[in-house]
Structure 1
Amino acid sequence: MQKKQTALKLLAVVGLLSGFQMAHALDLTPDSASLELGTGNKSQLVRAATQWDWGTKWWQSNGTHIGGYWDLSLAEFRQNKYQNIEDQTKNFTDIGFTPVFRFQKDDKKGLYAEAGVGVHLMSHLYDNNGRRFSTAFEFGDHVGFGYVFNNGLDLGLRVQHFSNGSIKEPNNGANFAVLRTAYRF
């Protein structure tokens, strides 16, 4: 089982790196990269991601608009009450892809608010602190806000929810508070 999990993680990293090479060849180079730390339901996550800006400005008014980006992520979760047993831990990996809408200034600096709903594939079923997922495929939705500084540094806070959308029971879902830092290239 451990070899299978290691192979899945290696495959995910190779896939991401191959994707970067292909994106560069097609001039789809990412516009930014982020690192996120989250906690919730007696578990933690660390997530690295890349983003591709849509380059659109919807409902432009008074120097603001709604834009967005694609977010491709790779995360590692640590469950600290696995199968509802105190101090029993289990790690798993998650690959996610999320379209994110962002209300922001036209120059993309300063305060912003955002929301997204994406898909996630987890290497193992989440089963922590009395909350169980019945599928490895999950939806991940979030709302958040943040601030983009003049140098391109983006600091944000999100509330994220994972659930399979009642595809299969049980569907307890789990919530996380996520601190995000990103840098625009």
Structure 2
Amino acid sequence: MQKKQCALKILAVASLLAGVHSTSFAVDSASFELGTGNKSQLARVAAQWDWDSKWWQSNGTHIGGYWDLSLAEFRQDQYQNIPGQHKNLTDIGFTPVFRFQADDKKGLYAEAGIGVHLMSHLYDNNGRRFSTAFEFGDHLGAGYVFNNGLDLGVRLQHFSNGGIKHPNSGANFAVARAAYHF
């Protein structure tokens, strides 16, 4: 229960801080991601809206961020713990992401986000079961933004319902990400 409350508080604060600083409804970038973990894979497309904020600006760097709206497809390869039994599920997610980056938003960056996800079915793969279709998704990532707007990165992604209901075994994924800033 404490994890759930902490996650909800973080999400609420992030939403309040970031939401008032978007200057436009136009999409700033789009991304494609591939991930693997727990004998399952994910493919995800997303759109991002940059925040017009530069917190703790110092020495040519700052903390900024963006909203991330995603649509993903998961392929479970050991559905209900049966080897070779497959099941797909679809996920829609919304995540505020904080990013430590250069002031010009080019070069190396590190990021972290925690958001909400709604899955079309309950995840049940390789001994990991979710008891709710509503999940929190958090990630830590790093990457590089090139001068032409190409953004290549990696993420460690975790899904869990934050203790809302049991079982709550969670699942982890290693994710490769490519994005393009318009």
Instruction: Give the Cα separation in 1 of the matches to 2:180 and 2:52.
Output: 17
1:69-111 deviations in Å (ceiling 9; x for gaps)? 0000000000000000000000000000000000000000000
1:149 partnered with 2:149:
no
1:21-40, aligned counterparts within 5 Å? 27-40=24-37
* Identity in percent: 82
Whether 1:89 aligns to 2:115 is no
Is 2:181 the counterpart of 1:162? no
What do the CA deviations read for 1:36-71 (whole angstroms, capped 9, x no partner)? 000000000000000000010000000000000000
Q: Which structure is higher in RCO with an 8 Å CA cutoff and minimum separation 6?
A: 2
Partner residue, 1:103: 100
Is 1:171 aligned to residue 168 of structure 2?
Answer: yes
1:101–1:27 distance in 2 versus 1, CA, 3 Å: closer
- Output the aligned Cα RMSD: 0.9
* Structure 2 unaligned blocks of 5 or more: 1-22
Per the alignment, residue 65 of structure 1 pairs with 62
Instruction: Give the Å deviation of 1:32.
Output: 0.1
Q: How does 1:122-133 map to 2 (within 5 A)?
A: 122-133=119-130
* Equivalent-residue separation in structure 1 for 2:27 and 2:96 (angstroms): 14
Point out where structure 1 has 5 or more consecutive residues left out of the alignment: 1-25
Match in the other structure for 2:131: 134
Q: Given the two structures, how large is their TM-score scaled by the length of structure 1?
A: 0.86
**Structure 2 residue 46 is matched with structure 1 residue 45:** no
Query: TM-score by structure 2 length?
Result: 0.87
Hey, what's the Cα distance between the residues in 1 that align with 2:128 and 2:59? 44
Q: Secondary structure at the match of 2:105?
A: coil
- 2:116 corresponds, among 95, 116, 119, to 119
Mapped partners of 2:143, 2:39: distance in 1: 25
User: Shift of residue 27 of structure 1?
Assistant: 4.9
CA distance in 1 between partners of 2:70 and 2:49 (Å): 12
Structure 2 CA distance for aligned equivalents of residues 175 and 57 of structure 1: 30
Moved over 2 A (4+): none
| Deviation digits for residues 102-149 of structure 1 (CA, Å, limit 9, x no counterpart) | 000000000000000000000000000000000000000000000000
Q: Distance in 2 between matches of 1:55 and 1:39?
A: 33
2:76 equivalent among 70, 74, 79: 79
Partners of 2:45 and 2:53 in 1: how far apart? 24
